[in-house]
Structure 1
């Protein structure tokens, strides 16, 4: 009897590892199979994804930012699955004839700005100073979904962030 129980435990552990390793697939970026892809792109060997579930308004469902690889999510924000109001915001940026959309969040004294439009990518600022900027590679790009506007609070541009 103990042999069967140990075998079951080993199978359960192996099955759990298998599920965990395949939870994020290439076609979905870093979004889970049940999550809607709001945005996803490859940055070098890594992927940046904005994922949502039940996000019909800023007060429903959740939105998550993930960065890393399918095997190693380096950053997931927020940690909890909570509604996006007060966590994410979205702004339309117009620079003459060029328009951008910025999806923003603040974490550990840093402002993260996912941008889409003429070009796509992310930049991170601290105290208004650029820390890093990464452009998306054109292949494997899933442009910002218009559905993000219904679930993320729209706010006016902020000079220190949306420049």
Structure 2
């Protein structure tokens, strides 16, 4: 009886973990978190970083960039009562930003022509995230203040 229960628990935990990221098994999870019923992920291989948004069954958007082009950028943004590291890229005049605030949970923001199209907070704040968004990467251009 313990064997079927152990197998069931293993399957449930594997399903839960894989739903937390859209990265492939051969990729490293740079950052990933659930936003509503979807997932936002930054995944890396030796050659590139990829942004993915959607569900494991249907990835709605993918964007990739290599170290030579550094299509992803990062800087620190300061507000009146908070600061955040921001990783962003622009695709077809739409800016996608992942905020990693000092206070509060991570946020995905999508903008076009300086208007916010979508703003989604990671479900359960930092407790549901995978990876380390602050780590250095050859695929991200660091922008000075």
Same-fold status (TM-score > 0.5) = yes
Aligned to 2:69: 85
Offset at 1:92? Answer: 1.1
Normalising by structure 2, we get a TM-score of: 0.75
Change (3 A) 1:143 1:32: closer
Aligned length: 125
Work out whether residues 40 and 143 of structure 1, in 8 Å CA contact, stay in contact via their aligned partners in 2. yes
Change (3 A) 1:84 1:125: farther
Larger strand fraction of residues: 2
Aligned to 2:114: 128
Report the structure number with the largest CA radius of gyration.
1
Change (3 A) 1:84 1:48: farther
SS in 2 for 1:33: coil
- Superposition pairs for residues 38-117 of structure 1, below 5 Å? 38-54=30-46, 61-78=47-64, 82-83=66-67, 85-96=69-80, 98-117=82-101
For 2:68 and 2:56, the matched residues in 1 are separated by 24
Change (3 A) 1:32 1:77: same
Show structure 2 runs of 5+ residues with no match: 1-14
Change (3 A) 1:103 1:84: farther
Offset at 1:143? Answer: 5.5
CA RMSD of aligned residues (A): 2.3
Show structure 1 runs of 5+ residues with no match: 1-21, 55-60, 158-163
